[in-house]
Amino acid sequence: MQRQPSIGPSQTDRSAQDLAADAVHEAKKLLGAELALARRDLRRSAAALSRSAIAFGVAGVAGLAGIDALMVSLAVGQRRNHPARSTAVGLGLLALAAAAALVGRSALPRSPLPIAARIASDIEDVAQRVVG
């Protein structure tokens, strides 16, 4: 007579173990994908913030230089009749400052990073797959 091999864990236990292992494997893959997306979002956000900071810096410097040029035109205007050049330079620098400020404002990220909401949604999805 042949002996039948003994079955250690029951078939239902094995499938539950396989299901749990699959869920853990899927959760690891999902977490890796979320981390990659978060890194990409953070890089894009940092690049946008750096462009915005540079534009705001240019706006500040140009604004101060424009105010200085207008002050020079006021000082020169008291001595001469036509301080047009320094006034034009001052107004041009102020226009440059306004344009740079608009560029800096438009470069700011529009919405906060939705990383936490995505992770919570993914956790719910994995839990639903494991349970149902």
Give domain status of residue 51, yes or no: yes
Which has the closest alpha carbon to 90: 59, 74, 68, 58? 68
> How many domains does the chain contain in total?
1
Give domain status of residue 121, yes or no: yes
pLDDT (tens digit per residue) in 29-43: 877 887 888 788 888
Residue 44 pLDDT > 90: no
pLDDT (tens digit per residue) in 92-104: 999 999 999 999 9
Question: Phi/psi class of residue 3: alpha, beta or left (left: φ > 0; alpha: ψ in -120 to 50)?
Answer: beta
The answer to which of 2-6, 22-26, 34-38 has the lowest mean pLDDT is 2-6
Residue 2 pLDDT > 80: no
Give domain status of residue 22, yes or no: no
Give domain status of residue 10, yes or no: no
pLDDT of the residue at 124: 78
Which has the closest alpha carbon to 37: 127, 113, 99? 113
Give domain status of residue 31, yes or no: yes
Provide the domain limits for residue 114.
27-131
Q: How many CB atoms lie within 10 A of CB 76?
A: 14
Give domain status of residue 11, yes or no: no
Residue 9 pLDDT > 60: no
Give domain status of residue 4, yes or no: no
Give domain status of residue 19, yes or no: no
